[in-house]
Chain A
Amino acid sequence: MGTLIFLVSLFITKNYIGYIPALIFLAAVVKISKVPFKFIVKGMKAIVFLLSLSVLCNLFLTPGEPLVSFWKLSISREGIKTAVFMAIRLTFLIIGSSIMTLTTTPNQLTDGLEKGLGFMKVIKVPVHEIAMMMSIALRFIPILTEETDKIMKAQMARGADFESGNIIKKIKSLIPLLVPLFISAFRRANDLAMAMEARGYRGGDGRTKMKPLKYHGNDAVAYIILLLYLAVIIALRVLIK
């Protein structure tokens, strides 16, 4: 939840001053989470390419008064500004979301979501069901990747070719992969539904949890800080034009 708000807040911000509270907030979260700094740096390495690509694009493609220009490319003041701005934004985005995935298990995540959005039950939004669907979806991602790999290998053993050819050929070559994949996904979904029903699952009402998510004092504090942070960001956005 907090992460979501944080990510949204990054997009609200339009200038450097807005990043100061974001930086403070992020630094505090990193400190509290006790995630080793090495881990975060490692996560950053993976997106260095994406980061530099976006910096380069912004650098050269933003129109404005040219500072340096050679050949057909020119770097403008605005270009530098947006490039740096985007770089910071991306970095924050990645760190923010990687902290979430490093500290929170998918179960906690959906539990938190269920609780955080609990107030929406009043207007008949099936929060529990949505959270359940999310946790099942998360759970299925690794299974499906594995399955894809297996089917791909099996079809390659039958001489299938997923790499060469033009675009139409490539799309066609996906059929032998996608059909079995969908069938197995449906079969799994069906099995899971049966298994859940066989154990008497019937939605959220009156359901108890094996490990109920209990909010303690510091969770409340976290919510307050989060709201405060959001307020600051919005205020900055409104006040500073």
Chain B
Amino acid sequence: MSIIVNHVSYSYNPGTSMETKALKDINLVINDGEFIGLIGHTGSGKSTLVQHLNGLVKPTEGEIYYNGQDIFNSDLTRKELRSKVGLVFQYPEHQLFEADVFSDVCFGPKNLGLSSKETELRAYAALKAVGIEDEYFYQSPFDLSGGQKRRVAIAGVLAMEPEVLVLDEPTAGLDPKGRDEILEMLSDIQKEKNCTIVLVSHSMEDVADYADRIIVMNKGEVAYNDTPSEVFKHYKELEKIGLSAPEVTRALYQLRKEGFDVNTDIINVQEAVETIGKCFGI
């Protein structure tokens, strides 16, 4: 049970003067139950790549397999695929359209052809999972705050109960508190549902605490694909491609350079504070 991306390349407007090679020969494996952080500078092809995962875009070259089936060349229907691989777009609140929050969340499961009872049960569970209280259920989605809208939009995909949840920059444009809440919520959902999560972001800090594995994209290619602490070892190279390792990592490496014996693999802020404290005998 996994997604395999096999030699995938993609160009926008192929054959014209405006051709853009957004992806170049991407090879990836996404295993069941993983929490993956997909990181890259603006325009590195992250959004393009995740739109391949549920068949919204067809690769110019290469194939994508979902549980061993080629997603464009097998009995697997698009609808089935999209119910298994849920994709939350960048600024998902722009896709809300119903008169009230609850019916908007029902849109996804209803499209899957579920009974109305099942649809409502799922919508209710999804709204609860993202932390929207009952009192908002029958409000217009347009009257909510930005962070709440985003949660409702995420619930809209969650209600389809996907096995793989892909989120394109779910924290873009939120304040630090809103950001932490969303990330915490995703981590809870993953633990509870045992699903796979792919989180797109351009900030290392976002994913450092939660991701099992980090995939770094640069100009349409995979630059690094490893555990967070391994990837952060390349903090100097990361800066060259417009990214920066978390401050914690940079601080620890600086300390080691100054001759302190610290463990540079630490990512968690709390642990780092303790380590640094020890260095200075606090």
Contacts and interface: CB of A to CB of B under 8 A. Distances in A.
B82 A179 contact: no
Contact of A158 (B51, B94, B111, B142): B111
Contacts of A200: none
Given A176-B107, A183-B142, A157 B86 contact: yes
10 contacts: A151-B94, A153-B51, A157-B86, A157-B89, A158-B82, A158-B95, A158-B111, A158-B156, A176-B107, A180-B94
A139 interface: no
Contacts, number: 54
Contact of B79 (A159, A175, A179): A159
Contacts of B94: 150-151, 154, 180, 183-184
Mostly helix, strand, loop or mixed at chain B's interface? helix
A175 B111 contact: no
A14 B88 CA distance: 57
B160 interface: yes
B222 interface: no
A240 to B, nearest CB: 45
B56 interface: yes
Nearest to B111: A159
Interface string B99-114: 0000000011001100
Contacts of A155: 95
A45 B74 CA distance: 36
A64 B86 CA distance: 61
A161 interface: yes
Interface residues of A, number: 17
A154 B92 contact: yes
Interface in A137-184: 150-151, 153-161, 175-176, 179-180, 183-184
Mostly helix, strand, loop or mixed at chain A's interface? helix
B112 to A, nearest CB: 6
A153 B168 CA distance: 13
B182 to A, nearest CB: 18
Best-surrounded residue of B54, B97, B107 (most CB of chain A within 10 A): B97
Contact of B107 (A151, A158, A183): A158
Nearest to B105: A158
Interface of A: 150-151, 153-161, 175-176, 179-180, 183-184
A153 B157 CA distance: 13
B95 A151 contact: yes
Nearest to B87: A157
Contacts of A150: 89, 94
Nearest to A161: B111
A159 B87 contact: no
B246 to A, nearest CB: 30
B160 A158 contact: yes
A184 B96 CA distance: 11
Contacts of B86: 157
Contacts of B95: 151, 154-155, 158, 176, 180
